Amino acid sequence: MAKLLKARVVITSPNNPPLSGGAVLVEGERIEALGAFEELKQRFPEAEIVDFGESILFPGFVNLHTHASMTIFRGLADDLPLMTWLENYIFPVEQHLRREWVYWGAKLAIAEMLRSGITTFVDMYLFEPEVIRAVEETGVRAALGEGLFDFPSPGYGPLEKGLALTRELLESYATHPRLKIIVCPHATYTCSPETLKKAAALAEEFNTLLHIHLSETRDEVALIKARYGETPPFHLEKLGLLNERLLVAHAVQLTDEEIELFARRGVRVAHCPESNLKLGSGVAPVVALLEAGVLVGLGTDGPASNNDLDLFGEMRTAAFLQKGLSFDPTRLPAEKVFEMATTFGARALGFEELGFIAPGARADLAVVSLAAPHLTPFYDPFSLLVYSARGGDVTDVMVGGEFVLRGGKILTFDEEEARRQVIEIAREVRALTKKG
Ligand SMILES: [Zn+2]
């Protein structure tokens, strides 16, 4: 049955004025109509009315880069440089990674993301079929792929098997309504040029995205320069990998020439400001990238380097950083950073029917209740969502026309069970790190 969703204000897209007293008619997985509540009620008398009361209804967020299952490592090792963190803590523990850990870690992450208004996430990790299982069961939307490395992976063994697994997933999920398989070589320092070329060929064959960590730290840039004589972007350019199919995470250490090159090649960027700050990597030149015409969305990165999965926090941090570093408070205003978290993220994934509210768009929506001290009073919805709201303020979430969070309760799975399982897994992880 069609649903008529009513809120105090509906944000349709950052480029349109918010709709006061507005409503959205959802039929099946799509938005059928948008307008004043009374008018839609007359046009669609059969529709079930869902009144969110004093609230803002907005397009669900797109988390453009994460490793969801790393919830199991949240707070395990903090305050370390990226390479020390990876090589001394994360990679050794990941050698013992088990399928069920990835599954439960992903489920917990999905609970956290839904509660933060995230309806789509991009995931690169190990044992990715387990993340797929979690996505299918929970009703969220995702673009994901198995992380590929030159060294043997606990997920698939030797690289050739990782490429074969990726191909198998690309074939199996080609028509899934909520899943898009992407090809995920981990980074230029963990993948040889041959690996990168094979991954890119696979992405091209299946017309999907290639997703990689790139130019995250100064050390990485120095390492790639020493190894290949080029910076990471020019290394990929030489290999013929810079194009509209490429989604890079981070892009912190970029020169003006590289920004220009990204714009020319149509490369997409997932900006992960809190992870970059926590790992001391620096601040991505977001305004320069946007001004050059590069599509930039927002990501949380993995919950072990953030340490949460809350895009409200990322929006605020992204905006504040650009203002603070430039001594210019007009930079990256609330509407623009909201656009990065919604429309730009969706477009970066090639999801043209997501990230905004309009007839014909897919019904991926979130609701923030205004009934909280820190959300009072209410003047401007963008200001409120970007500068005052946080994940816990989301009361309702719909993905593809189905409620997954309703009145603060997750409907599609047992969130408490995911918490209990991850608490158990953490006991085993702790034992492993003590042994090391
Ligand atoms: Zn990452």
pLDDT in tens, 266-325: 999 999 999 999 999 999 999 999 999 999 999 999 999 899 999 999 999 999 999 999
Based on the domain organization, do 283 and 243 belong to the same domain?
Answer: yes
Centre of ligand 1 to C-alpha 361, Å, is: 29
31 occurs within a structural domain? yes
Lowest-confidence region among 72-86, 287-301, 302-316, 382-396: 72-86
Please tell me whether residues 143 and 158 are part of one structural domain: yes
The Å distance, Cα 147 to ligand 1 centre, comes to: 10
Is 435 domain-assigned? no
For residues 377 and 244, membership in a common domain is answered with no
Q: What proportion of the chain, given as a percentage, has pLDDT over 90?
A: 92
**Euclidean distance between CA atoms 389 and 386, whole angstroms:** 6
Tens of pLDDT, residue by residue over 233-268, are: 999 999 999 999 999 999 999 999 999 999 999 999
The answer to whether residues 127 and 88 belong to one domain is yes
**% residues pLDDT > 70 (the chain):** 99
Nearest to 100 by CA among 412, 418, 433: 418
Looking at the fold, whether 188 and 68 belong to one and the same domain comes out as: yes
Give helix 128-138 / helix 159-172 axis angle, nearest 10°. Answer: 20
pLDDT band for position 394 (50/70/90)? very high
Express each pLDDT in 43-61 by its tens digit.
Answer: 999 999 999 999 999 999 9
356 domain residue, yes or no: no
Q: Among residues 236, 266, 230, 272, which one has the least CA distance to residue 252?
A: 272
How many angstroms separate the alpha carbon of residue 252 from the centre of ligand 1?
13
pLDDT tens digits, one per residue of 314-327 = 999 999 999 999 99
Model pLDDT, residue 434: 64
Task: Confirm if 65 and 301 have CB atoms less than 8 A apart.
Answer: yes
Average pLDDT on 37-45 reads: 97
For residue 335, count other CB atoms closer than 10 A to its CB. 16
Q: How far is 198 from 420, CA to CA, in rounded Å?
A: 40
* Beta carbons of 166 and 148 less than 8 angstroms apart: yes
Q: Per the domain annotation, does 430 fall within a domain?
A: no
Interval 114-129 mean pLDDT = 98
CA distance 345 to 352: 10
- Asked whether the beta carbons of 208 and 244 are under 8 A apart, the reply is no
**Host domain of residue 177:** 61-348
Distance 128 CA to ligand 1 centre (A): 15
- The helix or strand, by DSSP H or E, that contains position 420, with its residue range, turns out to be helix 415-435
How many angstroms is it from 377 CA to the middle of ligand 1?
A: 37
pLDDT tens, residue by residue, 172-212: 999 999 999 999 999 999 999 999 999 999 999 999 999 99
Write the DSSP assignment of 209-251 as a string of letters. -EEEEES-SHHHHHHHHHHHSS-HHHHHHHTT--STTEEEEE-
Q: How buried is 7 (Cβ within 10 angstroms: 0-12 exposed, 13-18 middle, 19+ buried)?
A: buried
CATH code of the domain containing 240: 3.20.20.140
86 band by pLDDT with thresholds 50, 70 and 90: confident
- The C-alpha atoms of residue 395 and residue 171 are separated, in whole angstroms, by 36
* Cα of 5 from ligand 1 centre, angstroms: 36
